[in-house]
Structure 1
Amino acid sequence: MATARTENLASVVVGLNKQNGQMRGQLKPASPQSGPLAPGSQPGKAPSAPLKDGSGPTEGGGIRFGDDWKRSLQLPPKDTRMKTSDVTATKGNEFEDYCLKRELLMGIFEMGWEKPSPIQEESIPIALSGRDILARAKNGTGKSGAYLIPLLERIDLKKDYIQAMVMVPTRELALQVSQISIQVSKHLGGVKVMATTGGTNLRDDIMRLDETVHVVIATPGRILDLIKKGVAKVDRLQMMVMDEADKLLSQDFVVLIEDIISFLPKNRQILLYSATFPISVQKFMAKHLQKPYEINLMDELTLKGITQYYAYVTERQKVHCLNTLFSRLQINQSIIFCNSTQRVELLAKKITQLGYSCFYIHAKMMQEYRNRVFHDFRNGLCRNLVSTDLFTRGIDIQAVNVVINFDFPKNAETYLHRIGRSGRFGHLGLAINLITSEDRFNLKAIEDQLVTDIKPIPGTIDKSLYVAEFHSTNPDAEAEEAETEADRKATEPLES
């Protein structure tokens, strides 16, 4: 990243304060890590707005009968990266086959969604018919579009009450889904979307609900609070979606979900989407869903485009190993997972001292700082993010091509969601696991449960496995000197 070097690590500026998760230290000169960020974006800058093609009217007057409406679309740059069969093995349907409103189709195409993915092909027509759905599909294969497209199609703008609700387990996912909803519906002429999550000002939500809201994207605790206060009226709601349904039906949330459903009308439609479904889902389905249409696109659990390796290390060698990976891999953006909030902050500090720009995020941070980190990392302002499992569910950042498990997870479900942060929508990704002697049994158990092969890391990793387009670089003498200094510092163990 093109950032001025600092000569003294003691002068590192830590943004707002230590707890905001944004740590920027001395950056190394160009090295294998400083490859491209997201297509069309520049390091340190938010991605540019889609370009107008200039071939049709783009504002004022609307689209008249007989106009070629597609010519007026502001399409993003075409994504020419290779995609795996996780998203390309379709029946050949088009979005226009589903008789969607033209204005909704405009939003879909301007998102860069060219054709439905397999989960969207299976889900959209069934959801439009009003039937309950239980859908199981891999991370990063288009589940959000699978439920948002029929949800937005069925919104009646003449009705000024809440008609649809999407439940999600984390604040970051709520913000992401609401942003997608707003973008896809921008031509529909007035769909009002609201995100409401814990950790934000309740008074603001109450004032917002005093106005017209058609779609609510919410975490369970906050929306239940608003329902019980009589502020969020859901007695006429027609569709409820549960994204990451396995988490929402875990012990953390299931009592809240049951309480929320008790306020809904009996003829509502319920859609469940997840990559994994535990036994608890069966009990919930039998109680609350009416003859649900079941979709299972999980012939195998892990994404086809993700290559998985492990490096056998001691705890003291982990930081050194991580530094070596940074210097040798071509990382667009990476997410590095730790098993505790304390280790997240310690590792982020260590990475900064090694000379790499780094953000961190965990559930104990103030909400405004979490929002800032999520927004800035998503927009490419930083290449590396250290996180707890807060960031494992649903978060879709296309530029992430490398996931590193600095601490190996305890179970297969967490592992599956973590590595699914790379290789989004059929693209290539790399997952590297740092394994200690204590982790070796978990490694074997997870391989067996997921029926996947996690291989020993080779001396050189083929860039074609995780980089769509790459250019070889020859680090200059200054870069080599910086790497030598970083190697020396990396030998110090991370404090536990």
Structure 2
Amino acid sequence: MAPGVPPNSGDNWKAQLVVPPKDERYRTEDVTATKGNEFEDYFLKRELLMGIYEKGFERPSPIQEESIPIALTGRDVLARAKNGTGKTAAFSIPVLEKVDITKNAIQALLLVPTRELALQTSQVCKELGKHLNIQVMVTTGGTSLKDDIMRLYNTVHIVVATPGRILDLTTKGVAKLDQCNVLVMDEADKLLSPEFQPLIEQIVGFLPRERQILLYSATFPVTVKEFKDRFLRKPYVINLMEELTLKGVTQYYAFVEEKQKVHCLNTLFSKLQINQSIIFCNSVNRVELLAKKITELGYSCFYIHAKMLQSHRNRVFHDFRNGACRNLVSSDLFTRGIDIQAVNVVINFDFPKNSETYLHRVGRSGRFGHLGLAVNLITYDDRFNLYKIEQELGTEIKPIPPTIEQSLYCR
């Protein structure tokens, strides 16, 4: 019997596969690829350029290339990029460029969610602007309020703050934001979580009507979109994390008990228009057991996992790719290698433990920008993971409806 083929898996099914044509437009670009810009291209003040080069920056990173010229024009920006790619300088450089040191007023407010990030951000601002005579102040909770009040009697051009502390200083009338024309929110997804969002909205109320808002985040949950729609004006959207977007993949969850999973899977098979599907389990043992169950239910099925001989895995993969079978049960260890355009349905029989695994699994459907469907079987113990993964990926996994529109996952 062929490896990866459960017992009694008849070959009477011939896959009627619809393989979408390859489209060059959907090739992902390397996030490290730059356009070859230089910092001089942005016509920055000579003193700012000196600070940039002294800090060791040679050329703008991708997020800096995308962000700096747009921010300099005064337009609102919504930028999505990974941590560690130069986000802080991407907003600090335009902020420093636009400060007028002849004005004794707070002209920019940089909001961050943690004290550590506030200190780090203010340090970057001070280093980049060391030749500009710009006064940067950092203020966070857990430090002396009296010291901050005394500091604000002197000139301050840029404030780097956590939301609670700056709101306290502003409502007391000590920190005046009526001439603060730029608001930067770094780690915007965290700043717009329920803990901070009411504070943020109050802070925005103290800013002048004509202001610029720059949002930077690794993920964009629904809260960020709501804030953008309410407060940003025609923002320029930058997304340097295409590999994290789940374009074209509709995601559902079904709450089930462990013992109901196979029955639920059987219902999905009977109701869905499956071109080809991949079903994920969290262990090698469960992969083989489930493949056997699916075959007993009368559906064609292969299985694959990392403990199989490489030659066997190659054969299963080759046969599945060529349409010899409609369904493949797989372990995670095989996730990244599967790139089959005919797969339009992914089912998480076992829900993954982390967002990276979820992304890689779900990314098996809807390849090359085509449509796909992801169905997650969720037990009581999975409910926290479901919420966590939604938050981390800035995506929405909806309850499964009684009927699923074919147009969502079939061309």
TM-score, scaled to structure 2: 0.54
> 1:134: which partner in 2?
78
Letter in 2 for 1:104: L
Letter in 2 for 1:251: P
Asked if 1:237 corresponds to 2:147, the answer is: no
> Would you say the 8 A contact 2:48–2:131 is kept in 1?
yes
Asked if 1:91 corresponds to 2:1, the answer is: no
> 2:118: which partner in 1?
174
Question: Counterparts of 2:106 and 2:362 in 1: how far apart (Å)?
Answer: 43
Asked if 1:448 corresponds to 2:358, the answer is: yes
After TM superposition, give the deviation of residue 161 of structure 1 in Å. Answer: 0.4
Letter in 2 for 1:120: Q
Structure 1 residue runs of 5 or longer lacking an equivalent are 1-83, 303-439, 454-496
Superposition map of 1:35-434 within 5 A: 85-87=30-32, 89-188=33-132, 190-301=133-244
Question: Counterparts of 1:196 and 1:297 in 2: how far apart (Å)?
Answer: 30
Change (3 A) 1:113 1:444: closer
> Would you say the 8 A contact 2:244–2:359 is kept in 1?
no
Change (3 A) 1:224 1:444: closer
Match of 1:146, SS state, is helix
After TM superposition, give the deviation of residue 138 of structure 1 in Å. Answer: 1.2
> Would you say the 8 A contact 1:107–1:186 is kept in 2?
yes
Report Cα offsets for 1:200-230 as digits up to 9, x if no partner: 0000000000000000000000000000000
Change (3 A) 1:216 1:443: same
After TM superposition, give the deviation of residue 301 of structure 1 in Å. Answer: 3.7
Give me the CA root mean square deviation.
1.9
Letter in 1 for 2:120: Q
Question: Counterparts of 1:191 and 1:238 in 2: how far apart (Å)?
Answer: 16
Question: Counterparts of 1:261 and 1:221 in 2: how far apart (Å)?
Answer: 13
Change (3 A) 1:134 1:450: farther
Question: Counterparts of 1:128 and 1:165 in 2: how far apart (Å)?
Answer: 16
Question: Counterparts of 1:197 and 1:223 in 2: how far apart (Å)?
Answer: 8
> Would you say the 8 A contact 2:112–2:187 is kept in 1?
yes
Report Cα offsets for 1:386-420 as digits up to 9, x if no partner: xxxxxxxxxxxxxxxxxxxxxxxxxxxxxxxxxxx
> Would you say the 8 A contact 1:138–1:301 is kept in 2?
no
Structure 2 residue runs of 5 or longer lacking an equivalent are 1-28, 246-349, 364-411
After TM superposition, give the deviation of residue 286 of structure 1 in Å. Answer: 1.0
Report Cα offsets for 1:360-391 as digits up to 9, x if no partner: xxxxxxxxxxxxxxxxxxxxxxxxxxxxxxxx
Question: Counterparts of 2:72 and 2:362 in 1: how far apart (Å)?
Answer: 36
Letter in 2 for 1:86: V
Question: Counterparts of 1:106 and 1:154 in 2: how far apart (Å)?
Answer: 16
Match of 1:295, SS state, is strand
Give the fraction of aligned pairs with identical amino acids, expressed as a percent: 64
After TM superposition, give the deviation of residue 267 of structure 1 in Å. Answer: 0.3
- Equivalenced residue count is 231
> Would you say the 8 A contact 1:108–1:184 is kept in 2?
yes
After TM superposition, give the deviation of residue 300 of structure 1 in Å. Answer: 1.7
The structure with the larger Rg is 2
TM-score, scaled to structure 1: 0.45
After TM superposition, give the deviation of residue 281 of structure 1 in Å. Answer: 1.1
After TM superposition, give the deviation of residue 299 of structure 1 in Å. Answer: 1.5
After TM superposition, give the deviation of residue 443 of structure 1 in Å. Answer: 3.0
Letter in 2 for 1:284: F
> Would you say the 8 A contact 2:189–2:224 is kept in 1?
yes
Letter in 2 for 1:299: E
Report Cα offsets for 1:308-330 as digits up to 9, x if no partner: xxxxxxxxxxxxxxxxxxxxxxx
Match of 2:83, SS state, is coil
> Would you say the 8 A contact 1:301–1:450 is kept in 2?
no
Match of 1:300, SS state, is helix
Match of 1:443, SS state, is coil
Question: Counterparts of 2:355 and 2:103 in 1: how far apart (Å)?
Answer: 52
Report Cα offsets for 1:215-251 as digits up to 9, x if no partner: 0000000000000000000011110000000000010
Deviates more, 1:441-450 or 1:136-145: 441-450
Letter in 1 for 2:78: L
Report Cα offsets for 1:342-377 as digits up to 9, x if no partner: xxxxxxxxxxxxxxxxxxxxxxxxxxxxxxxxxxxx
Match of 1:153, SS state, is helix
